Amino acid sequence: MILYRWRGVSTNFGDELNTVLWPRLLPGFFDDNPAFRFLGIGSVLDQRHSSQAVKLVAGSGYGGYEGKPTLDENWIIHWIRGPRTAAMLDLPQALALGDPAVLVPKALGLPPAGGPDIGFMPHFESAARGAWRQAAEQAGVRLIDPRDPPLTILRAIGRCKLLLSEALHGVIVADALRVPWIAIRPLARVHRAKWLDWADTMDLRPRFGRLPASTLSEWAGASALGTFHPTRTWLSRRELLLAKATPERLVVRAGQALRRAVNAAPQQSADATLDRCQSRMLDAVHALRLHPMRGASGAAPISQTRSHLQADGDSAYQLTPIV
């Protein structure tokens, strides 16, 4: 079974977390057999996959990046990211257990977070097209690049006392590590719906801060993805002309906005909500290990599967911390 993760021209933290999380939760589960594909973290529950391959879904979401999938017998769904994915794909709401990235601290045995840093993680597209390292320096915050190796990023988040993030999985991991966070609204509208899909499972309503593009390339890239209405652009015609002549103006503008964003009230899910979300996903992982080809949407719903496991005397899935 292939462990699938999306990869574009550069790596991306949320997608690369699959390579860190699942081999730890499901050791010996994966190989190179293309007839079976495992879909975990990411907005990848869509038409991008071969119709002939068997797809096991464990927490994926629908993000609108591709067409909706035809959920036939080759789709084995153990759980999905959130209730909005369930509604979009006409699946039972009971399958909406949450994003698997909340399991990262438990799976890796990460120490309690806490440190002196205020971090900022842009979306990987913003990091590639923008000048956020310079803007972050001006704002006095530490840039956390979502294109870095996932373990490097996890250590950086763990050193934060506050994280601002345009990247959804920056916030998800920060929340799981109990680092207060401030959500930054993605410049490209297409990246926004998945935030609410996850947040609904955590009883949250993100209060999005806004940052302007830090370069013309970043602005143009987001505009191409349908972010801006031509009459409601963040850059007036005069500002566009000035930015072309003096591009550093956009960097200064972005740094000033980032400095202001730090002062917003941070958010965090309740401890009990996080514990509930992690516990029910660990139950689902345990059920998946025992019966990988029997999805929760089949004859045995997840509630019945959990009762069956308890009746058989199976304990909850146990994890040994990585030293």
What is the per-residue DSSP string for 138-176? HHT-EE--TTS-HHHHHHHHHTEEEEEESSHHHHHHHHH
- Euclidean distance between CA atoms 18 and 90, whole angstroms: 26
Is the pLDDT at 322 greater than 50, yes or no?
no
Q: Tell me 10's DSSP state.
A: S
What is the spatial distance between Cα 260 and Cα 265, in angstroms, rounded to a whole number? Answer: 11
The shares of helix, strand and coil residues in the chain, as percent rounded to the nearest 5, are 40, 10, 45
Evaluate whether residue 267 is within a structural domain.
Answer: no
Q: Is the dihedral of CA 21, 25, 28, 31 positive or negative?
A: negative
In a shared domain, residues 151 and 226: yes
266 within domain boundaries: no
pLDDT of 6 higher than 50? yes
Residues 161 and 192 in one domain: yes
pTM over 0.85: yes
Number of compact structural domains in the chain: 2
At 251, list the tokens: 């960097």
Q: Is 75 left (phi over 0), alpha (psi -120 to 50) or beta?
A: beta
My answer on whether 7 and 25 are in the same domain is yes
Q: pLDDT-derived band of residue 231, with 50, 70 and 90 as boundaries?
A: very low
146-183 pLDDT, tens digit each: 999 999 999 999 999 999 999 999 999 999 999 999 99
Residue 239's pLDDT is 60
Whether 316 is covered by a domain: the verdict is: no
Whether 101 and 190 share a structural domain = no
Same domain, 121 and 230: yes
Helix (H, G, I), strand (E, B) or coil at 46: coil
| Phi and psi torsions of 102, nearest 5° | -70, -15
Q: What is the pLDDT of residues 188-222, one digit of tens each?
A: 888 999 999 999 999 999 999 999 999 988 888 77
pLDDT value for 74 = 96
> Stretch 41-48: mean pLDDT, rounded?
96
pLDDT, tens digit, for every residue of 121-149?
999 999 999 999 999 999 999 999 999 99
Distance CA 175, CA 171 (A): 6
Identify the DSSP state of 199: H
299 belongs to a structural domain: yes
Residue 114 shares a structural domain with residue 77? no
State whether 118 and 43 are in the same domain. no
Domain assignment present for residue 320? The answer is no
Q: Clarify whether residues 24 and 158 are in a common domain.
A: no
Residues 233 and 288 in one domain: no
Considering the domain architecture, whether residues 245 and 305 belong to the same structural domain is answered as no
Containing 274, the helix (H) or strand (E) segment is helix 271-290
pLDDT of residue 219: 82
- Structural domain range at position 183: 110-261
**What's the sign of the alpha-carbon dihedral 18, 19, 21, 22?**
positive
Report the distance separating Cα 193 and Cα 77, nearest Å.
21
